[in-house]
Chains A and B, each alone.
Chain A
């Protein structure tokens, strides 16, 4: 009897032991996929492509967005915010004390995240089971976006690694820097290879936001321009721009109402070439901010003055109080004064207080709460009014829905005009310049490089172009009073944590 008990027990043990083999300790993921099975069909490939597009929101999404950062680096805006340490990165770029520790890593890493997503998609797409024409378009979009992200990186950081395929973890620390020339050569060849596979225009409303040939050509033209390849630049822009003042072959024309460019009801208008989408539909909360599922426009929240106190019965719309980043310098304010674009560009708090629109209180003698580097002038292009505040879930601060432009037609007009001045075609340059001025009711001025530079500053004020324009044209003297060191501050330092233990060398003088 004892024996049978033992045998019985041992048999039981053996059975349980068998049940607890390899299968028992293997589980499958739920709600996500293994990479080797993914990118199998069009839907998955498109989802992979959307993840590449996601990084475009860097322009105006998240605290560390391109617009407020690049504005702060220019002579047109300060950093601002709550205090001199409210954003070490943006303040460091404003006064050029930025160093490898204070430079925000996201300006480096976010674009590389987009590149990594493009790299894996480009590697996987050939095996995807889908319509070949659509596949070619997906591929062209991924390559164009990747080229664009490299363009942003090479401008921000100068000396960067050029990575065109997925990186194995083991190789992560063995990657070398490329020269800017190598990066530009890659950008050019990628764009040239992709343009024809993109649709000439985007027609279906649901596709608005996807890349067209015009967008890719504009990026290519800009890449040429930044390398002083004037003729090549002018050729690309000429296709995009068409006859100044009319609708181009790609469907672009200047909108008539300058101020409407910043309306939430005028998205993807005829002037828009490379536009970044925002919506309040993602109901983003603080936990999402700056992440992949935050779809709001953060510039909207950041640039308004703090604690606006409107007078009872005020006649202007009720603008939303913000965090007072990017206060306008007196330089820009004075340059724009008298220009028809002043009203749409600058929120003039002293004038509004004087006009009785704002009301002073003992706590708020200026009618608003002045914060760091206050000048009284704020960037109105991105200031929302209360009716535009999201009432959905998440935090209203993070769910503004104004789109932003990387490239719009007035920009490509002026870039072409600039290129043409170098190739000696002042006639068309004059037409382009005049068209930009005429749109806001200004008369023609004789075309010169200076006039074009000046027009760019006023037309595109606060849209994040000024710093790169000054650097690429060698006009950084105006930045020196703000702390700019020539030969050093043209590019940002590479973030400390991204070069530590790697083969990368820090940029000069950082």
Chain B
């Protein structure tokens, strides 16, 4: 086919050279790629002639051609582009990469592979696609862009981590994937040091391809590769944006009039009197959400420099991210600065050396409690009554307790006019006036400094053999400084603090590893490609260590004056503590065989043996094998040449991987102190350390093993449409979990190899890219469905309970055999009794009423076991906490200098437990759905009568009353850019100048009534206690390149 084309060109060129009469003119121009970068080495041919030229290092060319000629631009990996000259002397061209990305390379563990011969399920996100995107943490790059990966933000607090699940929930403990950044193993909680502009690519190993990382691979592996220098002219780029954020939605709560009306009604329902004589006179009252949500500023800057020679190349970058949160920005902010130097050098014909090095500094201001029923500004804003004024403006009130006067409290915060912030006497405990709370946390911050580096030395002594040693290190220093002034938030516990204190904590941890590999690659008889890898590694996470120092009773009141330099006289006011965790070490041996026959039949086998400190002598070592194979029919000789199915590959994999993410010494019977008792009296009073065993030992503790199976088809249709379908299944056995033991054993639950969890699902990925004239269009979509099921827990257990919600009776979630992990569990209401007749008619098998004590307006509870009464046995499963499917869709279009890209993402099939109202503080404000409460026959069948006594358990039972659909779809980002014409910017020495506007979280479609349907939360996902919602941001940015 290709040959035919060439032949055609040659012949026509020959012919045309005789025909051509038009006047030759000199044409100059510049060739760039879709990102505006120059493409040196592009061949420029005058169509139909043998006249050709090539672009220089800046992408510039010069050619002589007839004024009516057509120029053809060709470059490997890019589509041929033909442009008519039409008499122009200057002609810029933009070439786009070929849709048949057969030569694309994918990073796999310990090396790279051509995409065409990959046999594992690996999703890739390219750094190029992230350019200019508002990414603060690496997890965000995966959301919506990769199939089979569920990503949900843990909080909208800038810099917060996300919950990432690769293909379901494989275990009942730590489900976080392993991150490997340039060979460095990093926990999910610590990957924030990466500057997104440094990312060359992110690969997600979803199936047995992850088994390469043995002990740590059960939850999938995310490989991050940073950029390398490019030889040639020095390139300097600047990327930056700035903008602002605002809250995208609020939770509807009652205003003062509504609140007073409902409180009156509740009091009457409970047999009391009217509390508020004239609710209407109270007006709207205080809207606490007005106070906490504020516009927040954000910006991001990156400068990177790349260059060098073929023998020695470097890439360096500097970046800055500064983002305020939308909740009380003065105490919610994230700042990060990074600096990176990557280089690689060819020392001799046989020896190559390379390194990466990064330093990052982060500073973090946090609002404290989020997603907690125990206070924090979000929870306070929803629960505080609307009657309490934000600020006490009446001097008479301000002059008496608690604000002032003889019984005035210490630690009352005031605004700049000296007026005290209002204190609720109705809603107390942890619920504090957000402005007072904000004032009490000024000057507090957390920080982290990371020093991360890797270096490799590669020796290629004979052709095909590579010996490589890689050493990596990651040193982290982090800590916090906190000043807690005297404060009086309210009269409940723990609403006040009489003694100020200043605290500083510093912590260190260090990870290092050494890996040695030998790879031998050989091609036999021009069709058999064989590669063998042997390797060994040692990985050490040194025990975290740190100390905290606290000084109390500082002779000052404000955080600005707080200092450790004060001479605090009483030694009891100078407190200190320190700790050192246990080392975690892994040692590994591994081997891989890769084989293909003409890239038609593909095979890969891998085996790894790991030893871990987390297990006792009985089970220190584990083996993790994997095998994968592929067949590419479209490369068979019998494959008919056609334009419909232009490429077809089938692949399958099987492999075992492990998980050792548990605490140290769980295999042993350990004696711990801290079970103390006090003896003596007066000055002899002494606390003596009591020591005992805490958990029963389990010497047989071993790895949990996840076996993953995957079959897939990769199809390219009409050359431009790529479709990948993966069917997968995984089964985890011997899950490491705490075996809940009954209280009569008297010890805490031991960790044991418990039951078995199964996941299965389908991932679809679709990619389309095509250029129509001057319009180029790209479309990517993915959708993943998965099901999760607990097969067994242990021989003695059918289920165990997960989190409950403060003051709600019974757990909200369970792990139970036959159900998905963390499914919601509780009572099931069947509507509201409208009248006594309905109560009387609701009878059991013996004809007696099931809920004889109910009154109209109470919930009718489902008698699940049909025993004629409602008790704890009448609870059932009420829905899933994990989505059944997640999906993402991105679209981009380019026309002339303009480009638009949109990323949408969503999840569906899960429920959210709305636990935003603090039940036990009975005067907490209600959400607006309470306006739809039952207040007489026919008024409501979904919201019961208001009562604080609540004898029917309408509110105090964990039930489907609190569950809402969690489905959502969100336009995650939208970006519109314009690249200035090169002839204009060229004069300023620029090779590229693009400006863009961008929005993040512009639209969210959901029925959920809380702040945000996207709620992560680790292993107990699905309970919304007041998540910090995702912000909506508007940004303006530029990309410049010199």
A residues lining the B interface (CB < 8 Å): 2, 5-6, 9-10, 12-13, 16-17, 19-22, 24-27, 29-36, 38, 44, 46-54, 56-57, 82-86, 88, 97, 99-102, 105, 108-109, 112-117, 119-121, 160-161, 163, 167-169, 172-173, 175, 205-210, 267-268, 277-279, 281-283, 286, 291-293, 295, 301, 306-307, 309-310, 312, 321, 323, 359, 361, 363-364, 369, 389, 391-393, 395-397, 495-502, 504
Contact = CB atoms under 8 A, between A and B. Distances in A.
14 contacts: A16-B536, A26-B613, A35-B697, A51-B675, A84-B922, A108-B743, A115-B746, A281-B687, A312-B407, A363-B425, A393-B552, A497-B801, A500-B799, A501-B797
B746 A20 contact: no
A36 B669 contact: yes
B94 interface: no
Interface in B735-754: 739-747, 750, 752
A24 B538 contact: yes
Interface string B184-227: 00000000000000000000000000000000000000000000
Contact of B492 (A82, A121, A496): A82
Given A20-B587, A99-B871, A33 B919 contact: no
Nearest to B540: A24
B461 A35 contact: no
B26 interface: no
B978 interface: no
A466 to B, nearest CB: 25
Contacts of A167: 696, 745-746
A30 B516 CA distance: 31
A38 B671 contact: yes
Interface in B795-811: 796-799, 801, 807, 809-810
A21 B536 CA distance: 11
Given A50-B675, A169-B750, A307-B425, A175 B919 contact: no
Interface string B373-417: 000000000000000000000000000111000110000000000
Chain B contact-residue range equals 35 or more
Contacts of B611: 20-22, 24-25
Given A52-B690, A83-B920, A121-B692, 11 more contacts: A6-B467, A16-B538, A19-B538, A82-B429, A85-B919, A169-B741, A175-B742, A209-B677, A301-B493, A307-B402, A393-B552
A4 B672 CA distance: 54
Given A27-B585, A102-B809, A278-B678, A16 B491 contact: no
Contacts of B690: 47-54, 117, 292
A84 B895 CA distance: 66
Contacts of A210: 679
B697 A312 contact: no
B872 A395 contact: no
B555 to A, nearest CB: 15
A233 to B, nearest CB: 28
B136 interface: no
Given A2-B462, A22-B620, A497-B801, A173 B674 contact: no
B680 interface: yes
A175 B743 CA distance: 12
Nearest to B684: A205
Contact of B676 (A48, A293, A502): A293
B459 A86 contact: no
B156 to A, nearest CB: 26
Contacts of B956: 85, 88
Interface of B: 400-402, 406-407, 425, 428-429, 459, 461-462, 465, 467, 491-494, 498-499, 514, 516, 518, 534, 536, 538, 550, 552, 572-573, 575, 580, 582-583, 585-589, 611-613, 617, 620, 664-665, 668-682, 684-693, 696-698, 739-747, 750, 752, 796-799, 801, 807, 809-810, 871-872, 919-923, 948-951, 956
A390 B336 CA distance: 41
B572 A47 contact: no
Contacts of A205: 680-682, 684
A56 B498 CA distance: 30
Contacts of A361: 400-401
A97 B796 CA distance: 30
Nearest to A391: B499
Contacts of A19: 538
Contact of A497 (B516, B740, B950): B740
Contacts of B580: 30-31
A363 B742 CA distance: 47
A268 B681 contact: yes
Contact of B536 (A20, A364, A392): A20
Contact of A282 (B493, B613, B675, B676): B676
B494 A295 contact: no
A109 B809 contact: no
B494 to A, nearest CB: 6
Most B CB contacts (10 A, CB to CB) among A19, A53, A114, A160 go to A53
Contacts of B493: 301, 323, 397
Contacts of A310: 407
A35 B691 CA distance: 10
Given A12-B516, A25-B587, A85 B613 contact: no
A47 B689 contact: yes
Closest CB pairs A-B (n = 5):
A116-B746, A109-B743, A51-B690, A20-B587, A50-B690
A393 B573 CA distance: 7
A25 B585 contact: yes
Contacts of B518: 9-10, 13
A109 to B, nearest CB: 3
Contacts of B499: 391, 396
Given A35-B669, A120-B692, A99 B872 contact: yes
B825 to A, nearest CB: 12
Contacts of A309: 401, 407
Given A292-B690, A397-B493, A498 B950 contact: no
Nearest to A209: B679
Contacts of B920: 82-83, 85-86
Contacts of B682: 205, 267
Given A85-B956, A279-B678, A393-B575, A35 B671 contact: yes
Contacts of B747: 113, 116
Contact of A51 (B612, B692, B948): B692
Given A34-B670, A34-B671, A50 B680 contact: no
B373 to A, nearest CB: 12
Contacts of B582: 27, 29-30
A425 B1036 CA distance: 96
Contact of A100 (B664, B691, B872): B872
Contacts of B697: 35
Contact of B491 (A50, A109, A321): A321
Nearest to B492: A82
Contacts of A5: 459, 461, 467
Contacts of B677: 50-51, 53-54, 56-57, 209, 277, 295
B676 A169 contact: no
A169 B675 contact: no
